[in-house]
């Protein structure tokens, strides 16, 4: 995504560093990954499946994934029951539910955009967030260290972070038509301060991923 493409949309903006650290996806990730209770155990189970998905798409780019192939890749900890605990209509703590519970317009748009009828696709979406998270954390550290930044600079940080992630995880980034991690789309919508729909934000970031692949 070029700044030329984004420039016409930019307006004066406050410091977003703290807000970017308190998005719906940030709270979802922290609630599950940092919780010492059973939610933490569930996050470990999710991580097993995220790693399995990432390994499969890296080993066989473009090959169709099924719940059976993912369970096999998650061996010895994989099973049909745990797969459907982390993906599908009856999954525990899915990211899309966090958007729905938040209830704000942007969050509902994100929930609609990332709503999947296929459990495998839902798992890939969450695996992208998991895989991208360390890159996002480094980006937030840089943003907070720099102090107040313009929207142009913030969007540049998001794009640069996505580029680094996609080059390190080429096939996962390309999965599902280069759908970007949901947290990156939410970040861009926050930077745009309610002036960009989820579909538009996701399309811009998908195009960026294709160009920088």
Per-residue pLDDT of the chain (213 residues; tens, 9 = 90+): 443 344 333 333 455 667 888 999 999 999 999 877 766 799 999 999 999 999 999 998 888 999 999 999 998 888 999 999 999 999 999 999 999 999 999 999 999 999 999 999 999 999 999 999 999 999 999 988 887 888 888 999 999 999 999 999 999 999 999 999 999 999 999 999 889 999 999 999 999 999 998
The answer to whether position 66 is within a domain reads no
pLDDT score at 15:
56
pLDDT for residue 16 = 66
The b/e string for 45-72 (b: 16+ C-beta within 10 A; e otherwise) is bbebbbebbbebbeeeeeeebebebbbe
User: pTM of this prediction?
Assistant: 0.90
Between CA 116 and CA 124, with CA 120 as vertex, the angle to 5 degrees is 85
* Token couple for 69: 């192939």
> Is 181 domain-assigned?
yes
* pLDDT at residue 11, as a whole number: 39
Residue 110 lies in a domain: yes
Note down the domain range covering 195. Answer: 3-34+93-212
100 domain-assigned: yes
Number of folded domains in the chain?
A: 1
Please check whether residue 157 lies inside any domain of the structure. yes
């Amino acid at each position: 995504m070029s700044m030329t493409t984004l420039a016409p949309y930019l307006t004066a903006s406050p410091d977003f560093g703290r807000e970017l650290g308190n998005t719906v996806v940030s709270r979802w990730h922290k609630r599950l990954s940092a919780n010492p209770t059973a939610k933490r155990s569930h996050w470990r189970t999710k991580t097993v499946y995220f790693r399995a998905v990432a390994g499969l798409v890296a080993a066989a780019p473009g090959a169709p994934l099924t719940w059976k192939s993912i369970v096999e890749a998650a061996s010895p900890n994989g099973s049909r029951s745990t797969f459907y605990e982390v993906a599908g209509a009856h999954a525990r703590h899915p990211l899309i539910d966090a958007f729905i519970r938040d209830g704000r317009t942007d969050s509902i748009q994100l929930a609609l955009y990332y709503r999947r009828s296929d459990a495998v696709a839902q798992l890939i979406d969450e695996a992208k967030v998991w895989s991208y998270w360390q890159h996002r954390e480094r980006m937030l550290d840089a943003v907070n260290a720099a102090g107040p930044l313009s929207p142009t600079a913030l969007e540049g940080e998001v794009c640069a972070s996505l580029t680094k992630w996609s080059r390190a995880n080429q096939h996962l980034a390309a999965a599902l038509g280069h759908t970007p991690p949901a947290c990156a789309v939410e970040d861009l919508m926050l930077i745009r301060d309610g002036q960009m729909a989820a579909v538009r934000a996701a399309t811009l970031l998908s195009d960026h991923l294709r160009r920088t692949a």
